[in-house]
Structure 1
Amino acid sequence: MKISQRLENAISKLYTAFHTNTLHPECRMSCAVGNICDNTTTWTHLTNGHGSLQLSYIGQLNEAFGRKVFGYSPSELLQIEAVFLTACGYEIPLAFNAKKPKDPADKELLFNALCAVVEFLCKLDGVPNVMDYSKLFEFEDDRPKYELPAFA
């Protein structure tokens, strides 16, 4: 399956962040979108609140002009971050007294949140979820329907 460059880049950055322990939902440079945006906070100017789906004035302008940030529109970036934070167990947008996980650095929590993000990224690009291996276990007449792809 062929995937877009933006999807490949995003997954690669999130993979690296997860395995180098530089993924943290509460930090705007280390959250899902912060990592996709090369650990910068430039994306935060697109919204007035971390986890909010509402574009700021700057976000609306960039959206209207069709600008992309690391391949994604401003509204797509906000949706990606909302998926990540929600899957981590946060009430969004983030607020001091809002619901949040006990340990936001928990690897299992982050893994599950990244699975949700990758699924959403694939949906944005109109491709099957690259992390869905359920087809490998489908069978017909006691034989696998699909071959296991060769990994280099």
Structure 2
Amino acid sequence: MKTSIRLEQAVQKLYNAFYNNELHPECCKQCAVGNILDNSDSWKHLSDQHGALELNYLGNVHQSFGRKFNGYTPLELLHIEATFLRACGYQLPFHHKNKKPKNPTDKDVLFKGLTAVVTLLCSLDGIPNFMDYTKLFEFKNEKPRFQIA
């Protein structure tokens, strides 16, 4: 399957962050977007709240000029982060009074977030979700449709 460079790089960065314990939903440098943007927190200035889907003035300026950050538009970045936070169990926008997971760095919590992000990244690039394992269980005439090599 042919993927874009931005997708390959994003997944590699998220994979490394997950296995190196450098993924934290509440840190703008270590969240999904922070890792995709090389542990930068500059993206947080694109909206007024962490987890919001609305661009602020600065975000709209970058979006209207067609600016991309490691291949992603400001609006795509906000959607990536919101998807990650929501899948990790956060109520959006992120606020200390809103619902959040008891242990935000629990591997199961982070895996759910990453699974949702990879699904979104694949959708943004118009390719099938390579983490979708449901094909393994498809059958026809009581036999598996696909063989595992």
Please state which band the TM-score falls in when normalised by the shorter chain. over 0.9
Partner of 2:97: 97
**Residue 11 (1) aligns with residue 15 (2):** no
Deviations 1:19-63 (A, max 9, x none): 000000000000000000000011111111111111111110110
Structure 1 segment 11-30 matched on structure 2, within 5 A: 11-30=11-30
Cα shift at 1:143 = 4.2
Structure 1 segment 41-60 matched on structure 2, within 5 A: 41-60=41-60
Structure 2 letter corresponding to 1:62: H
Cα shift at 1:138 = 1.9
CA distance in 2, matches of 1:140, 1:91: 41
- State the percentage of identical aligned residues: 57
SS in 2 for 1:113: helix
CA distance in 1, matches of 2:26, 2:139: 43
Partner of 2:134: 134
Deviations 1:99-137 (A, max 9, x none): 111110111110111101111111111111110121122
**Residue 124 (1) aligns with residue 124 (2):** yes
CA distance in 2, matches of 1:59, 1:117: 21
Partner of 1:61: 61
Cα shift at 1:142 = 4.5
Partner of 1:114: 114
Partner of 2:78: 78
Partner of 1:39: 39
CA distance in 1, matches of 2:140, 2:85: 39
Q: TM-score, normalised by structure 1?
A: 0.93
Structure 1 letter corresponding to 2:2: K
CA distance in 2, matches of 1:67, 1:22: 27
Q: TM-score, normalised by structure 2?
A: 0.95
Structure 2: runs of 5+ lacking an equivalent = none
Cα shift at 1:98 = 1.0
SS in 2 for 1:87: helix
Q: Which runs of 4+ in 1 moved over 3 A?
A: 141-144
CA distance in 2, matches of 1:144, 1:5: 33
Structure 1: runs of 5+ lacking an equivalent = none
